[in-house]
């Protein structure tokens, strides 16, 4: 049993089955034994997963090109900064070095109180602890974690809280018997925090995810565990030793954002963002170097490997809906 597993087992023996959100919180963020807190590097070849940010320099060049477009649209204000939420290994630091770059991660860096610029994140929201529910006999029930016969198991608990019920009814299609749902209440808090801090500029969010209507594709939910580049469905195994993610409900981010003054400018696939950033000459700039073949391969991985599964949401702080007429799709 992993050290985080021992702690969770003890907690369950003492208090009874726990909400999945608590399980994920300890598994990923326990100060000593959590997956993201242990002295190991989860990223890269020796780790458990790659993110788009590790595809440098091409990802950095194209994201900086996209941010430059936003910077120009804002009239190049002198106070412009790029804040990165969940900055991890700070892979974007070099690419964003033409502006003051403020990385925020656990125990390092705080969200500034007043921002003019871009609040960027890549795979930040999908790493937040989520609640899990199942719809049964006409009500949402909490899916909790129990401990039996030496392992962690799912157990259906009582009806969910009013807050969770409201989230699930608001951001999903009308519920269907037997379906699993995830609710990311932390994401809502972060959207509110971003909206409060961002006085002018854009929230630029990249992640796996779905909209309300697309959520029908996931009748068993979207939880995934990653270890050594293999995705595993059983997220209750080896807490602390593998990453756990839940796809992001972009309808929730958009609609709460809208209510807080963050207007959706674009919602699109990562491939669409890369293509928009690459025009008219950035692909040439991204690809021109002594290691051309490597860079071409990076662009291919980004466009075809990750481009369709990742979504990009760009929200603008303040003001009326944009007149740019850019697509809100898909
Ligand atoms: C999947 S990693 C992504 C890292 C990086 N953005 C990338 O794409 O390679 C998620 C990151 O979010 C950070 N994180 C999670 N919860 C956070 C919080 N509440 N505040 C700040 N950072 C957080 C984690 O520590 C981790 O570095």
What tokens were used for 155? 């157990």
Choose among 318, 201, 311: nearest CA to 253: 311
Residues whose CB is less than 8 angstroms from the CB of residue 232 and which lie 6 or more positions away in sequence, other chains included:
224, 225, 226, 242
Residue 162 lies in a domain: yes
**C-alpha 106 to ligand 1 mean position (Å):** 7
Q: What does the pLDDT look like over 83-92, one tens digit per residue?
A: 999 999 899 9
320 contacts 270 by C-beta, under 8 angstroms: no
Residue 323 lies in a domain: no
What's the rounded mean pLDDT across residues 57-74? 94
What's the rounded mean pLDDT across residues 47-56? 81
pLDDT value of position 229: 57
Mutate to test the pocket of ligand 1, among 105, 128, 194, 231 (most ligand atoms within 8 A of CB): 105
Residue 324 lies in a domain: no
**48 pLDDT tier (thresholds 50, 70, 90):** low
Report how far residue 36's alpha carbon sits from residue 49's, in angstroms, rounded to the nearest whole number.
13
CATH number at residue 150: 3.40.50.12710
What's the rounded mean pLDDT across residues 67-71? 96
**C-alpha 323 to ligand 1 mean position (Å):** 33
Residue, of 303 and 187, whose pLDDT is higher? 187
- Model pTM greater than 0.85? yes
Report how far residue 60's alpha carbon sits from residue 122's, in angstroms, rounded to the nearest whole number.
12
Give me the residues paired with residue 43 across strands: 49
Residue 210 scores a pLDDT above 90? yes
Residue 103 lies in a domain: yes
**308 pLDDT tier (thresholds 50, 70, 90):** confident
Residues whose CB is less than 8 angstroms from the CB of residue 279 and which lie 6 or more positions away in sequence, other chains included:
none
Secondary structure of residue 263 in the 3-state scheme: strand
What's the rounded mean pLDDT across residues 9-21? 98
286 contacts 62 by C-beta, under 8 angstroms: yes
When the pLDDT of each residue in the chain is averaged and rounded to a whole number, the result is 90
Mutate to test the pocket of ligand 1, among 85, 127, 207 (most ligand atoms within 8 A of CB): 127
Residue 330 scores a pLDDT above 60? no
**C-alpha 296 to ligand 1 mean position (Å):** 28
Residue 295 lies in a domain: yes
- ∠ CA 69-123-154, rounded to 5°: 155
**109 pLDDT tier (thresholds 50, 70, 90):** confident
Report how far residue 257's alpha carbon sits from residue 262's, in angstroms, rounded to the nearest whole number.
5
Report how far residue 329's alpha carbon sits from residue 175's, in angstroms, rounded to the nearest whole number.
24
pLDDT value of position 3: 96
Residue 70 scores a pLDDT above 90? yes
**C-alpha 127 to ligand 1 mean position (Å):** 7
With a 6 A CB cut-off, is 49 part of the ligand 1 pocket? Answer: no
**C-alpha 229 to ligand 1 mean position (Å):** 18
Ligand 1 atom closest to Cα of 121?
6
pLDDT value of position 196: 96
What tokens were used for 37? 């807190």
Range of the domain at 235: 3-317
Residue 300 lies in a domain: yes
Residue 201 lies in a domain: yes
Above pLDDT 90, what percent of the chain?
75
Give me the residues paired with residue 170 across strands: none
Report how far residue 319's alpha carbon sits from residue 124's, in angstroms, rounded to the nearest whole number.
26
Above pLDDT 70, what percent of the chain?
90
What's the rounded mean pLDDT across residues 122-128? 96
How many domains does the chain contain in total?
A: 1
Secondary structure of residue 213 in the 3-state scheme: helix
**43 pLDDT tier (thresholds 50, 70, 90):** low
- 58-73 and 292-300 helices cross at what angle (nearest 10)? 70
Residues whose CB is less than 8 angstroms from the CB of residue 105 and which lie 6 or more positions away in sequence, other chains included:
86, 87, 88
What tokens were used for 113? 């109180």
């Amino acid at each position: 049993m992993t050290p985080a597993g021992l702690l969770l087992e003890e907690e369950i023996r003492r208090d009874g089955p726990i909400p999945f959100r608590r399980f994920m919180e300890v598994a990923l963020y326990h100060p000593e034994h959590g997956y993201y807190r242990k002295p190991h590097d989860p990223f890269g070849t020796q780790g458990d997963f790659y993110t788009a940010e590790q595809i440098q320099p091409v990802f950095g060049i194209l994201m900086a090109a996209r941010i430059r477009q936003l910077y120009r649209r804002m009239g190049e204000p002198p106070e412009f900064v790029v804040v990165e939420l969940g900055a991890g290994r700070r892979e974007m630091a070099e690419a964003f070095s033409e502006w003051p770059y403020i990385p925020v991660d656990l125990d390092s860096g705080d969200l500034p109180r007043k921002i003019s610029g871009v609040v960027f994140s890549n795979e930040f929201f999908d790493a937040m602890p989520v609640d899990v529910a199942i719809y049964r006999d006409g009500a949402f029930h909490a899916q909790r974690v129990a401990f039996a016969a030496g392992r962690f198991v799912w157990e259906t608990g009582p009806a969910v809280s009013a807050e969770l019920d409201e989230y699930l009814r608001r951001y999903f299609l009308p519920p269907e018997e037997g379906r699993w749902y995830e609710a990311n209440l932390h994401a809502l808090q972060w959207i509110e925090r971003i909206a409060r801090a961002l006085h002018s500029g854009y929230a630029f969010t990249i992640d796996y995810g779905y909209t309300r209507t697309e959520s029908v594709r996931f009748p068993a939910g979207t939880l995934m565990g990653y270890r050594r580049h293999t995705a595993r469905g059983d997220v209750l195994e080896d807490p602390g030793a593998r990453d756990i993610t839940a796809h992001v409900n972009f309808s929730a981010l958009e609609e709460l954002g809208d209510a807080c003054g963050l207007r959706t400018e674009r919602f699109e696939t990562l491939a669409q963002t890369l293509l928009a950033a690459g025009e008219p000459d950035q692909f040439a700039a991204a690809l021109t170097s002594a290691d051309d073949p490597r860079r071409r391969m990076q662009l291919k991985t980004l466009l075809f490997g990750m481009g369709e599964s990742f979504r990009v949401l760009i929200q603008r702080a303040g003001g009326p809906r944009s007149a740019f007429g850019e697509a809100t799709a898909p």
